[in-house]
Amino acid sequence: MRIVLGGLGHGHLHVVAHARKLLDAGAEVVLIDDGVFRYSSLAAGILGGRYAVEDGMLDSRALAACCGVRHVPANIGGIDPSARRVRLEDGSELSYDIISLNLGSTVVAPFAVADGASVFHAKPLLQLTGLRDALRAMIGARQTPRLIVVGGGHSGCELAANAAALGRRYGAAMDITLIAPEDRVMADAPAPVSEGMAAILHGFGITVRTSLRCESVESETVRLADGASLPFDHVLLATGLKPSPVAHLPGLDFDAAGGLCVRATLQSVADDKVFAIGDCAHLAYDPRPNVGVFGVRAGPVLAHNLLAAIRGETMRIYEPQKHWFAALNLGDGTGFGLWRGHHWHGRLPLFLKERIDKRFMQRYRRLYSRRPVRKTPELVSPQ
Ligand SMILES: Cc1cc2nc3c(=O)[nH]c(=O)nc-3n(C[C@H](O)[C@H](O)[C@H](O)COP(=O)(O)OP(=O)(O)OC[C@H]3O[C@@H](n4cnc5c(N)ncnc54)[C@H](O)[C@@H]3O)c2cc1C
């Protein structure tokens, strides 16, 4: 019996860490991923320079090895559920008896982007490191980077604030504009939350332009719906998370966004041998937004249900929580906390966020390494 874990998302971390029970039940557990787990909660702070890149990374190979899981360092190219086969991007194939997908999401530009334009996406997270390096290179060359952030949701606001923080860290000027098609930033939150965030962004010197749609990204300018063109050095797309297209298994059911429809046991509504959690899944019975906490909380239910599937036992039901704490790192040592439609700004939300994040990363890192999560900001030359 072979269980394939596709992608090392938040919930699969738990399954890998608890793989012993699956192994004891006679299963072979195979993890296919690119070799690194990147933690989104720390991503903005990495862009802003508060954390080192490694602080947000876990070594999948080392984690798998110490948990008895076979690691295949590769990207999945496609999955054929009728043949129960996984195709890797190098063309090789692997069969499975059960597959679980925790492949996450990506940001896909909802408009044309010219070849060669310096455009970064909020996800995959590795692109944020690329943006940070590009900004630092300009700062090192004593230039003022012109950055346009497209998207006024949580990620757009948090990343814009941290790009500004990067400039402050080096005492350099930054010209940052955030463009949002909605009439306010964080438009899914109550108006006082949006107003609070807009005031913070203004305070950081960020130009916030709402009710403005981006039509296309040309090689050096962003073309706007009002006919104007904005010149840029770099563009950051934070236009919303879309489920990984790899989770689009032929013949199975999806929602409009492309998330694999699962029932409360986390199995595909159309195929018992396929499980999915996190951003690549759509909880058809109780939909939730793309937020990491749902992948985290689904992990223990998934681990139980994979074991139950092997043993023919009763599965557990995953009931996603109705409320969840969110906190944005604003890059200046403060956070913006959100709870049940209320917000608060200060050091406490960041303190709580960092405590949660540190515990999460330590839980898995300590399985293969003694290296603690660093506390000190990364103070390196921008050269
Ligand atoms: C800038 C930013 C900040 C965010 N901050 C927060 C936050 O503070 N709190 C929060 O709850 N949410 C946050 N989010 C949302 C969060 O990123 C997602 O909801 C969360 O990462 C989803 O987790 P997941 O477990 O579904 O997948 P992920 O954690 O994204 O993991 C998916 C894994 O699958 C792998 N993978 C992808 N494709 C393939 C393939 N073809 N083959 C093999 N492996 C593959 C990836 O490499 C990755 O390791 C943030 C998002 C962004 C963009």
Helix, strand, coil % (nearest 5) of the chain?
35, 25, 40
Q: What was the pLDDT predicted at 341?
A: 87
CA–centroid distance, residue 270 to ligand 1 (Å): 25
Q: What was the pLDDT predicted at 200?
A: 98
Closest by Cα among 205, 125, 126 to 168: 205
Q: Would the CB of 265 count as within 6 Å of ligand 1?
A: no
Q: Map tokens 């876990």 to a residue.
A: 58
Q: How far apart are CA 267 and CA 305, in angstroms?
A: 9
CA–centroid distance, residue 226 to ligand 1 (Å): 34
What CATH number was assigned to the domain covering residues 2-105+243-311?
Answer: 3.50.50.60
* pLDDT, mean of residues 79-95: 97
Q: What was the pLDDT predicted at 375?
A: 44
Task: Return the best residue to mutate from 103, 125, 132 for the ligand 1 pocket (most ligand atoms within 8 A of CB).
Answer: 103
Res 133 pLDDT > 90: yes
Q: Would the CB of 215 count as within 6 Å of ligand 1?
A: no
The single-letter DSSP state of residue 318 is P
* pLDDT, mean of residues 369-376: 53
Res 376 pLDDT > 60: no
Distances (CA, A) of 131 to 119, 160, 186, 305: 9, 12, 23, 40
Q: Would the CB of 293 count as within 6 Å of ligand 1?
A: yes
Q: How far apart are CA 239 and CA 224, in angstroms?
A: 15
Res 109 pLDDT > 60: yes
* Mean pLDDT of the residues in the chain: 94
β-bridge mates for residue 38, sequence order = 57
Q: Would the CB of 80 count as within 6 Å of ligand 1?
A: no
Two domains, one topology: 2-105+243-311 and 107-240+327-350: yes
Ligand 1 atom 5: the closest Cα is on which residue?
41
**What tokens does 196 get?**
């609070």
CA–centroid distance, residue 105 to ligand 1 (Å): 6
Exposure pattern of 71-86 as b/e (b: 16+ CB <10 Å)?
bbebebeebebeebeb
pTM, to two decimals = 0.94
* pLDDT, mean of residues 15-19: 97
Q: Can you tell me which atom of ligand 1 is nearest the CA of 128?
A: 1
Reported as half-sphere exposure (CB side, CA atoms, 13 A), residue 148 has a value of 25
Percent of the chain with pLDDT over 90: 93
pLDDT tens track for 355-365: 999 999 999 99
Q: Would the CB of 259 count as within 6 Å of ligand 1?
A: no
| Whether the Cβ atoms of residue 150 and residue 182 lie closer than 8 Å to each other | no
Res 380 pLDDT > 90: no
Res 371 pLDDT > 90: no
pLDDT tens track for 260-296: 999 999 999 999 999 999 999 999 899 898 888 999 9
Q: Would the CB of 299 count as within 6 Å of ligand 1?
A: no
Q: Would the CB of 151 count as within 6 Å of ligand 1?
A: no
Q: What was the pLDDT predicted at 370?
A: 61
Task: Return the best residue to mutate from 40, 57, 246 for the ligand 1 pocket (most ligand atoms within 8 A of CB).
Answer: 40
Q: Would the CB of 40 count as within 6 Å of ligand 1?
A: yes
- State whether CATH 2.60.40.10 applies to domain 107-240+327-350: no
Closest by Cα among 76, 54, 197, 196 to 129: 54
CA–centroid distance, residue 171 to ligand 1 (Å): 32
How many C-beta neighbours within 10 Å does residue 227 have?
7
Q: What was the pLDDT predicted at 173?
A: 96
* pLDDT, mean of residues 27-50: 97
pLDDT tens track for 185-232: 999 999 999 999 999 999 999 999 999 999 999 999 999 999 999 999
Domain parsing of the chain, residue ranges: 2-105+243-311, 107-240+327-350
> Within its chain, how far is the Cα of 139 from the centroid?
27
Q: Would the CB of 7 count as within 6 Å of ligand 1?
A: yes
CA–centroid distance, residue 7 to ligand 1 (Å): 10
Q: How far apart are CA 107 and CA 186, in angstroms?
A: 17
Q: How far apart are CA 297 and CA 323, in angstroms?
A: 13
| Whether the Cβ atoms of residue 162 and residue 44 lie closer than 8 Å to each other | yes
CA–centroid distance, residue 249 to ligand 1 (Å): 19
Q: Can you tell me which atom of ligand 1 is nearest the CA of 292?
A: 11
* pLDDT, mean of residues 124-134: 96
Q: Map tokens 């960092």 to a residue.
A: 354
Q: Would the CB of 10 count as within 6 Å of ligand 1?
A: yes
Res 13 pLDDT > 50: yes
Own/partner pairs for 300-304, CB < 8 Å, 24+ apart?
300/14, 300/18, 301/266, 302/11, 302/12, 302/14, 302/15, 302/100, 302/266, 302/275, 302/277, 303/14, 303/15, 303/18, 303/21, 303/22
The single-letter DSSP state of residue 316 is P
| Whether the Cβ atoms of residue 235 and residue 118 lie closer than 8 Å to each other | yes
Res 329 pLDDT > 80: yes
Q: Map tokens 């960041």 to a residue.
A: 350
Q: How far apart are CA 209 and CA 222, in angstroms?
A: 13
* pLDDT, mean of residues 88-96: 96
Res 382 pLDDT > 60: no
> Within its chain, how far is the Cα of 287 from the centroid?
18
Q: What was the pLDDT predicted at 365?
A: 96
